[in-house]
Structures are given as C-alpha cells and as structure tokens.
Amino acid sequence: DAGVTQSPTHLIKTRGQQVTLRCSPISGHKSVSWYQQVLGQGPQFIFQYYEKEERGRGNFPDRFSARQFPNYSSELNVNALLLGDSALYLCASSLGPRGSHEQYFGPGTRLTVT
Amino acid sequence: GDSVTQMEGPVTLSEEAFLTINCTYTATGYPSLFWYVQYPGEGLQLLLKATKADDKGSNKGFEATYRKETTSFHLEKGSVQVSDSAVYFCALRSISSGSARQLTFGSGTQLTVLP
C-alpha cells in the first residue's frame, strides 16, 4: 500500500511570495496533521484536520493556513514568506484524531526561502 | 505546556557498542511516549512506543521503558550497527493536546555508528 505522499519534494521561493504544499494520506485515513521541522530541531505542530474540520492549531501566525478536501488530501498554504519559514514541512496521516491513532509521516517538502 | 528534553548530540559510537539516548518529559496526566527515527533525506518513522507507566516498547533491537516516577523514556540498544546511523527523536502525545492529540518532539539526537 502507498504511504503518505507529499508534493513537491523541494521548493525554492523568494521572501514575500506565497506557497502551497500538498499531502495525500494513506488510503482509509481521515486525519492529516502538518509539522514544521527547522534544520537541527524537532518537528513543531502546525495544524490537524479531521473530516475537513480543523481540530487543532499550533503556535504559528495567521500567514499559515490549511484545508482538507473531501478525499482527505490536504494543502498547507503559507503567505508572505519569511526567511525563517525555510524548513522541512512534514505531513502525517492517521485513521482519526484520537491519541491511540498512530501518525504516519510522509517524506516531507523541503522549502527554501531566499 | 508539554515539553520533551533529550540528550544533545551528536553521538558517535563504534559498531557493536551499547547505545543510550536520554529523554525526559513534562506533561499533564499520562502521555503516550514515542521514539521516531529519521534517516538522511527522509521523513519520520515510528521506532517504538509506550502508552502507560512501566510499559516497555521494543523494535529492531531498540528498547525504551516508560518511567513515570522519573518522567523518562530512555532509548537503548545493546549492539548498534552502521545502518542505525540516523537522527532519533523522542516525542509525547498528551491529553493536554486537546482534541488535536498532536505530537510534541524533542530536538533530536544525531547518531553516527562507525565500522
């Protein structure tokens, strides 16, 4: 079975631009979470979506937004990019939002802001 | 809030050496605890987990025991291999996460195993 897929793999943007990252969860999984991993640090939680509803949001500015589609895939949008937004963006899918539902991570999208 | 503190790296060992990576946590209630591994250029893979006090998670020769009295979840392996070279993350999922149940990660420990 296919795991979590993310696109694109790598992306280079300029400060002030906007970016959209995409994630397809494992078949049958209805929950998607997004994490930001800055080089040399652990991942930080950005959003969780379940059944197209936002279930949680981390400590990130309003420049960050996301949505989930009827097929449970998800997009993460970042507006007005800053140099500090350069990071690996990880998507994780799970059956649902419960703590007992294991999260499976995709390979990530490497975003570089110049 | 929830937090995870793990042993800073990098850690360099010779093949067949014993490995310990320390991890301690702060959380409300009784969190679930995890170790994830990240190989170069890849995403995170779940290595092992424990969901209640005194549980021992184990996988691929790695072990960690949930110690509530010391709020710790140290990762151990008796004999490391070159293929174990990676970054290891300790993480928790707590009831204080609200309905999101998101993971809170430590900063990671880079392990290099030399032949």
SS3 B38: strand
How large is the C-alpha radius of gyration of chain B? 14
- Interface contact flag, B100 A103, Cβ < 8 Å: no
Q: Which of residues 7-26 of A touch B (CB under 8 A)?
A: none
Q: What is the distance between the alpha carbons of residues B85 and B97, in angstroms, rounded to a whole number?
A: 31
Question: Is residue A85 a contact partner of residue A78, using CB atoms and an 8 Å limit?
Answer: yes
**In the numeric block, which tokens belong to residue A89?**
């963006």
Quick check: helix, strand or coil at residue B34? strand
Minimal C-alpha gap between B106 and chain A (Å): 6
Taking residue A103's Cβ as centre, other Cβ atoms within 10 Å add up to: 26
Q: How many residues does chain A have?
A: 114
Alpha-carbon gap, residue B16 to B76, rounded angstroms? 13
Does B97 have pLDDT greater than 60?
no
Q: Which two tokens stand for residue B80?
A: 């490391």
For chain B, strand residue ranges (E) read: 3-6, 11-14, 19-21, 23-26, 32-38, 44-50, 56-59, 62-65, 75-77, 86-93, 104-105, 109-114
pLDDT at B13: 97
pLDDT band at B95; cut points 50, 70, 90: low
Q: Do A105 and B106 touch (CB under 8 A)?
A: no
Percent of chain A with pLDDT over 90: 85
Express each pLDDT in B23-82 by its tens digit: 999 987 788 999 999 998 888 999 999 988 999 999 999 999 999 999 999 999 999 999
The number of residues in chain B equals: 115
Chain A environment of B106 (Cβ under 8 Å): 42
Helix, coil or strand: residue B36: strand
> How many other CB atoms sit within 10 Å of the CB of residue B75?
25
Task: Work out how many CB contacts closer than 8 A connect A with B.
Answer: 68
Tokens representing residue B76 in the block: 């151990």
Selection from A9-23, A84-98, B89-103 with the highest mean pLDDT: A9-23
Tokens matching residue A110? 């490497």
Among left, alpha and beta (phi > 0; psi -120 to 50; other), residue B78 is: alpha
Does any CB of chain B come closer than 8 Å to the CB of residue A59? no
B42 touches chain A (CB under 8 A): yes
DSSP assignment letter at B69: T
* Strand, helix or coil for residue B97: helix
Q: Is the pLDDT of residue A97 over 80?
A: no
For B96, the token pair is: 């204080």
